Structure 1
Amino acid sequence: MDRSSPTARDGRTERRFAPRTLPDQVAEELGAEIVSGRRKAGARLVEIDLAQEFGVSRGPIREAIRILERRRLVELLPRRGAYIKPVSLKSVADLFNVRTALSTLAVRTMATAPVESYIDTLARRCDELKAQVDVDDPIAFARTTTRAVKTIARGSGNELLVELLTDLANQTVWTMIWKSPLDYQTRDIRLASADLMAATLKAIRQRKPNAAVTHFGQLLEGDRDRALATLSQIRGEAFDLSALIHADESGVALQALAARPA
């Protein structure tokens, strides 16, 4: 399946898929269009139409729809078919806030009692981010940032926390968020983000958990605010950041959950 050529549907230029399974590729493309608002809530996903659109058989389409159901983007109704679920900017903000709450717990734990081998891994991620500052590839920068966040989670030594973050990525719209460049679109933003990650690493090395949380929290909240602002423009929807639920308001319950013994 080649979706890399310009499409007549909306005039945008498609990127080639990474080497993943066909259903995953279809699910990522459809999911990105649902999150961006190009496919509207309530619309029915018709297998035969999608098969023709993507140039594949109905089998991969059927499995892609199941993937989207697990990610809470599609609802399967008995004898009626698959329908797109509403994805509000508020729900996307909630996703970022939950990720921030779990991730700041991870960085606090790592800065207090780290798994030492992951400090070296995080240092490599910081070097990669620094090297990508001058490269105009927001999606690549976002992926490296995501890998750094995962490194911090693993470096905390809290296996349940790692599982929760992994489940968050696999079961929600998270894997769709960076399909289109929602953040890191300028050198200044990439530089500021790389500096915050480097400051987080320094605080971890110095065993300063409060400083690590401050720097890492600023990085993640900046990610959230810029991604939501860009997404609101793409979707043509009003966006009021002050009305969102902040991570610190839900952090106590989330930290208690993540700190439970496995």
Structure 2
Amino acid sequence: MSTAEEPLLESTRVADWLRDAILDGVRAPGSRLIERDLAAEFGVSRVPVRDALKILEGEGLIVLRPRTWAIVREFTASDMADLDEVRSVLEPLAFRLAAERHDRDGLARLRRVLEKEKSSARAEDPITSRRAAADFHEAVTELADNRLLQDLMRSMRSKLRWGLSQHDDLIHVTDEHEALYEAITMRDGDRAETLAIAHIDSGRREREAHELALRGASDAGVKSEGASRR
């Protein structure tokens, strides 16, 4: 391996790890990502860390600050509304095309992803289940076999995965994916498209419920802390 390739591989590795940490909730919105600390944590120089942060900035996951640090971005309700609007155009098309164009190998891969999502949901493993849910959508896009659509979906992959992580009812999401899978298997493009639209709307409601639950837990914590000080 050439020395020119090593920083590239290191920056990709750092970016992949940080992306997972952000999307899995390990690095919370508003938290700082400091170059020298990350370099020490990963055992690399600051150059690949800096490059990794630029990758994540391009994906809309962080905001770079002057010189040596960044902040994990907090997605607003407006951000997610924008995402839902774009998803409502692209995803129904992706599911329709997947139903019409899928091949045996692609369908088998989609089944494996769905089974992983289901088993981890039943085991109450939210991180694995939510990752698999995002993988399900990515696999559907591959089945659609449209390069331009794949490029468009790839550009919003991280934001889509973040949106899919903002729900608590893992079994409900899995059940909706099962219905979508069945429509794809039957090559029923109309039903797949209709279910995809409903899935996006359901995801919006789940996300709002998730946000409300978090807000309620935060308010309860503040009240409890205030009472303990009296």
Give the TM-score, by structure 2 length: 0.67
140, 146, 155: which one aligns with 1:167? 155
Unaligned 5+ segments in structure 2 are: 1-11, 217-230
Q: 1 CA distance for matches of 2:131 and 2:191?
A: 24
Matches of residues 251-262 of structure 1 in structure 2 within 5 Å?
none
Other structure's SS at 1:133 match? helix
Matches of residues 1-262 of structure 1 in structure 2 within 5 Å?
21-26=13-18, 29=21, 36-39=28-31, 47=35, 50=37, 58-72=46-60, 73-75=62-64, 84=71, 87-169=75-157, 173-174=159-160, 182-183=166-167, 185=168, 189-231=169-211, 234=214
Other structure's SS at 1:74 match? strand
Unaligned 5+ segments in structure 1 are: 1-19, 237-262
Give deviations 1:119-170, integer Å, cap 9, x for gaps.
222223333333233211112111111111111111111121112111222x
Q: 1 CA distance for matches of 2:24 and 2:127?
A: 13
- Percent of aligned pairs sharing the same letter: 23
Q: CA RMSD in A?
A: 3.6
1:243 corresponding residue in structure 2: none
Q: 1 CA distance for matches of 2:55 and 2:88?
A: 25
Other structure's SS at 1:207 match? coil
The answer (yes or no) to whether the contact 2:141–2:149 under 8 Å persists in 1 is yes
Q: Higher helix proportion, which one? A: 2
Amino acid of the residue matched to residue 94 of structure 1?
D
Q: 2 CA distance for matches of 1:46 and 1:231?
A: 28
Change over 3 Å in CA distance of 1:198–1:27 after alignment to 2: closer
Deviation at 1:201, TM superposition (A): 1.9
Deviation at 1:212, TM superposition (A): 1.0
Deviation at 1:82, TM superposition (A): 5.9
Give the TM-score, by structure 1 length: 0.60
